[in-house]
Amino acid sequence: VKMLPTFVRSIPDGSEKGDFIALDLGGSNFRILRVKVSHEKKQTVQMESQIYDTPEDIMHGSGTRLFDHVAECLGDFMEKQKIKDKKLPVGFTFSFPCSQTKLDEGVLLTWTKRFKASGVEGMDVVKLLNKAIKKRGDYEADIMAVVNDTVGTMMTCGFDDQRCEVGVIIGTGTNACYMEEMRHIDLVEGDEGRMCINTEWGSFGDDGSLEDIRTEFDREIDRGSLNPGKQLFEKMVSGMYMGELVRLILVKMAKEGLLFEGRITPELLTKGTFETKHISAIEKNKEGLTKAKDILARLGVEPSHEDCIAVQHVCTIVSFRSANLIAATLGGILGRLRDNKGV
């Protein structure tokens, strides 16, 4: 795994205050927040946010178009907040592997998940965003930091509880960060203190280390992805892929006569028709089998009660495997923290 230094050196101590903008790009949505932190009588945090759609043609188009879109959304948000005349500090959560030499610089190593915009890999995303903002000319923004979403998660939790030393994302994709001792970080000078490390554990297995546990369905998912051979662990556990894993298993079972009396519909054969949210619905104890029947009916299948039980079992297996793999990798990080503390 990449184990990327983030140049975040500490958890919030609760004394922070001010008026900030936060950008969050990388998952299913692009989100912009205004966060006001004050300490008048007691610490208060006020947040206002808006979610903006990022169409697939922008995700797969040019980098210029993508960052123009981000700058346009930010301009719209500032207009609605009536703060276009202010130059507020901006934090940019960018949920992709970046090489950093300082807090306000992030060179994209590779796109993951649904993104594949051209001309961005190998470039500093802060510079690209600043260029797009400057080109507009209707507002100014001071981008203070670019962080991974795991780092943002850890810092947010750390704001309430300074004992928080790990951030984990299990959503569209998956990743984790943790606080490491500086003496163990070869890529950064100095031995004193600590720094947050972005593990990029989604790419665990890209070197072949997971081949013993990858299945034919995992390999099919990978072959049909935007980034074959990359993010193999992520493709086994995260929300973007779990529904499709279940669909591929159901198709094979139907072809072998183990489900739906061997009937296979065009809908069942269509990529993306079985969504990850369907797994959660079908796994529920009471209404799960009813949900299974409804979801399968929408795929053109008329399932028997036994079919619904089997589909529920497949969903449980896929989600249970995901949970176990996440638990194993998280256990590795917790073991590292324990060793660092000499416990």
pLDDT tens digits, one per residue of 20-30: 999 999 877 89
What residues are labeled active site?
113, 149
pLDDT band at 191 (very low <50, low <70, confident <90, very high): confident
What secondary structure letter does DSSP report for 14? S
Cβ 209 vs Cβ 189: under 8 Å: no
Residue 324: enclosing H or E segment and its boundaries?
A: helix 305-341
Residue-wise pLDDT tens digits, 298-340: 999 999 999 999 999 999 999 999 999 999 999 999 999 999 9
Identity of the residue numbered 195: M
Residue-wise pLDDT tens digits, 229-239: 999 999 999 99
Structural domains of the chain, with CATH = 11-159 (3.30.420.40), 216-324 (3.40.367.20)
Residue-wise pLDDT tens digits, 41-70: 677 889 999 999 999 999 999 999 999 999
Query: What does the block give as tokens for 315?
Result: 């969903």
State residue 246's pLDDT score: 98
State residue 154's pLDDT score: 95
CA distance 174 to 318: 16
- Please, which residues bridge with residue 66 across strands? none
CA distance 50 to 77: 7
pLDDT band at 343 (very low <50, low <70, confident <90, very high): confident
State residue 227's pLDDT score: 94
State residue 224's pLDDT score: 95
pLDDT band at 14 (very low <50, low <70, confident <90, very high): confident
Q: Which of 64, 177, 185, 219 is nearest to 128 (CA)?
A: 64
